[in-house]
Structure 1
């Protein structure tokens, strides 16, 4: 007989007084196999035999909007963004610093650069302090990126 308590995934949590049947074990094994198979087949989490690429690179052009999403088709573990053929840090005419590069990784916060689940990443422009600005989406500026799986 199935246990009166189950795990979050529906597996039996038998007590000493329960009397499990063979069908209960078969059901638990099928549940485990289904969940495991689904997980392994998720190519946003795992490389496939035909796609062994540990990273991808490319570029995008800033559009100046409040947020721009760059779609990669997988969930990146880390992303590095830097300006294409330009300096990563520049001073404007008022002496403010403009940062044109950023890095984000799982567990590492970078305000203007966000990792997006199962998509890619998003960028924006953001004031870091009164005289420092992070500019990862300046209108017309070309940026390069490296995204790690």
Structure 2
């Protein structure tokens, strides 16, 4: 049986004279597994825009935070006087909206996120531009 325990997780520490018990190893493994499960994970990925007005990018979890950039690393660009929102940072209940018309640019949804493209060229939504590669980082 362990005679000492670690400060933060109470894991067993044995002295030379201590008898080592399998149950103590199993209890320690359970504590470690539980602690690791609470650590947020970063998930990296990419998608290619298909030009539809809105689209869901499927993930096997619902992110709490999401950051999307176009292939050039930009989240905003201006081309020939046209402002294009092509990414950004969003939180679960805080989508990125077009400041001019209050339209969704990027938002987290259940098991993924939504992206948009201005199919009529009158808006500024470019998170689903046809054939454009985008990269994302999501916090699980």
Q: TM-score, normalised by structure 2?
A: 0.59
- The Cα RMSD (Å) is 2.7
Structure 2 matches for 1:88-103, cutoff 5 A?
Answer: 88-93=75-80, 95-103=81-89
Per-residue deviation, residues 29-69 of structure 1 (Å, max 9, x unmatched): xxxxxxxxxxxxxxxxxx99689661101100000012221
| Structure 2 unpaired stretches of 5+ | 1-33, 97-103
4+ aligned runs moved over 6 Å, structure 1: none
| Structure 1 SS opposite 2:124 | strand
Q: Does the C-alpha gap of structure 1 residues 53 and 77 become closer, same or farther in structure 2, counting only changes over 3 Å?
A: closer
Q: TM-score, normalised by structure 1?
A: 0.56
User: Which residue number in structure 1 is paired with residue 114 of structure 2?
Assistant: 122
Q: Give the total of aligned pairs.
A: 98
Q: Does the C-alpha gap of structure 1 residues 114 and 48 become closer, same or farther in structure 2, counting only changes over 3 Å?
A: farther
User: Which residue number in structure 2 is paired with residue 143 of structure 1?
Assistant: 134
| Structure 1 SS opposite 2:77 | strand
| Structure 1 unpaired stretches of 5+ | 1-46
Is the 2:85–2:105 Cα contact (8 Å) retained in structure 1?
Answer: no
Greater share of residues in strand = 2
User: Which residue number in structure 2 is paired with residue 30 of structure 1?
Assistant: none
Is the 1:112–1:126 Cα contact (8 Å) retained in structure 2?
Answer: no
Per-residue deviation, residues 105-141 of structure 1 (Å, max 9, x unmatched): 1231322212111x111111259xx7x6131000000
